[in-house]
A and B are shown apart, each in its own frame.
Chain A
Amino acid sequence: MKLRTILLTACLSLFSVSFLSCYDEEAKDEYYEKDPMDWDLPVYTESGLNLFGAQYTVNDVLFYVRSSADTVPCRMVAGDGTLKIYMTGKRYKSDFSICFDLKVSQNISSYADLSVLEGDEFFITSDSCDMKIYKSGEYMSVEPWSGSLRINNAKTLYVDNKLSGAIFSGTFGMELKLRNDTIDISYGRFDFLIDDANFSLE
């Protein structure tokens, strides 16, 4: 009886220890949360995650452009009735940057004013939006065919009751011509935290 009891106890303890040892902390070193619809793009968020990404098709060859962990993904420069948005990241392994030069109806003098842009859509074929793409060491003007930049979410952020930044999120997509290349940018999404580090006045 005693031997049986001891054996049973030992088995129960072994069973418990083996179960508990199954837990192993997985490394979570991903830079961004993937979009379940397209794993090469970050999922669309409105949280101020400092991410952007888009499908970038050049002459029917698909690439991806997206923010990278070692680059400031967004800089904003506000002027008199203008707002320049620079999105900087990588296209495969090479540097990539795109600039939207927006004409805004109200003056933007600080990131706290960005909330007035919530819900606005800027069509790249209109006068309110000019677009440039960084290539060969300079920002080059493009010949736009269609497309727009839409600001879905622009909120002023207070942390511990102190003004801390602005959350600026939205989508973009366009067709254009750059030199002799036909470029189709689709499923573009961005989610930025704008604060003193990446906002400046002209």
Chain B
Amino acid sequence: MKSKILLCLVLLSCPFALVHAAGKIKVKVGVDMGCDYYVGDRHDPRYVKQLGSFSDKEETYSNYNPILAGDGVDHLQSWYVGLTGELLFHKERFGVTTGLRYTQFIDIYDPDAAYFYWDSHADGSDVYYVRARTLLQRNHYVGFPLEFRYLASRPGRICRFYFKLGSSWGFLVASDNKLTCYDSSVDDELGGYVDDVGKDPDRFVGSVYPAFGFRIGRYFPLFNIDFHLPSFLINMPASYFYYDMGVGVQLSVQLPTDRAAYDRRDPMGIPYY
């Protein structure tokens, strides 16, 4: 996995090095971070069990078996941080961004009921369930973004509006699942991190997001804020989350690699091209 990541990094940095050496296309490097919020359907995890139950009401029993109570509309969160480089061309009106990005997807299974039953383990003819309050799954992906930007206003303005078609691609590097027990007295023994939730998230995921935003700052440094409306997921970065679409916001800071050129033009108060 490490060698794959290294190879990706080398490949990604090649175009930047080449165009920078040529000196004809502007290059900006920076950091970006953001978060997305997806809405979709969640299914009951495989080890969540339903049990029949009775309540004694007015001397008659009522069987209120909660079939599939956990299914329903829910949400998935993600956040990411990365190092990026942007190639700007055609008088800095068009840009292509890529780099290295770490993304974490957070899925919390928290049904409306006070607790759910989690099939903990079996031992011969005995089965052990845990009453659990939440199951938190965090999946860690490392990959790269690939974004195309069109800046609607010319360089040199303090605030530039832009449209963007972005995407992010990632490989699963780690996953952890934490079960919180309903009865806190057994949380240490039966809760905590569980290895197996019955289904793994997809090892490769992508997201595509049309966006609009603003580039603030005239020359150095530049701050970007853009809004993903909407953001679509390709493959599932959570074990039991499906049919997703969401919204997000991204912040980035960029530094031009040829700062001297910017500094030289800045006192003139005019676009440098």
Contacts and interface: CB of A to CB of B under 8 A. Distances in A.
B65 A12 contact: no
Contact of A23 (B73, B127, B181): B73
A186 B265 CA distance: 88
Contacts of B60: 70
Nearest to A33: B67
A67 B210 contact: no
Contacts of B182: 160
B134 interface: no
Interface of A: 1, 5, 8-9, 12-13, 15-16, 19-20, 23-25, 28, 30-33, 47-51, 67-73, 115, 118, 154-161, 164, 167, 192-193, 197-198
Interface of B: 39-40, 49-54, 56, 60-65, 67-69, 71-73, 117, 122, 125-131, 152, 161, 163, 181-183, 186, 189-190, 210, 212, 229-230, 245, 247
- Per CB-CB distance, the 8 closest pairs between chain A and chain B, nearest first, are A50-B52, A115-B125, A16-B229, A72-B61, A193-B52, A16-B230, A197-B54, A155-B127
A88 to B, nearest CB: 10
A19 B67 contact: no
A69 B190 CA distance: 32
Given A5-B161, A25-B73, A160-B186, A19 B230 contact: yes
B161 A161 contact: no
Q: Is the interface of A mostly helix, strand, loop or mixed?
A: loop
Contacts of B63: 50, 67-73
B65 A31 contact: yes
Contacts of B54: 72, 197-198
Q: Is the interface of B mostly helix, strand, loop or mixed?
A: strand
B126 A155 contact: yes
Contact of A159 (B130, B161, B212, B245): B130
Nearest to B49: A47
B127 A158 contact: yes
Contacts, number: 117
A1 B40 CA distance: 37
A124 B183 CA distance: 45
B53 A31 contact: no
Contacts of B52: 48-51, 73, 192-193
7 contacts: A12-B212, A16-B247, A24-B73, A50-B65, A71-B61, A155-B125, A167-B127
Contacts of A51: 52, 65
A12 B54 CA distance: 51
Contacts of A13: 229
Contacts of A48: 49, 51-52
Given A20-B39, A31-B67, A1 B152 contact: yes
Given A25-B73, A193-B53, 15 more contacts: A12-B212, A19-B230, A23-B39, A30-B68, A50-B52, A70-B63, A73-B63, A115-B125, A156-B125, A156-B126, A156-B127, A158-B127, A158-B129, A160-B183, A197-B61
Contacts of B62: 69-70
B186 to A, nearest CB: 5
A9 B212 contact: yes
A105 to B, nearest CB: 16
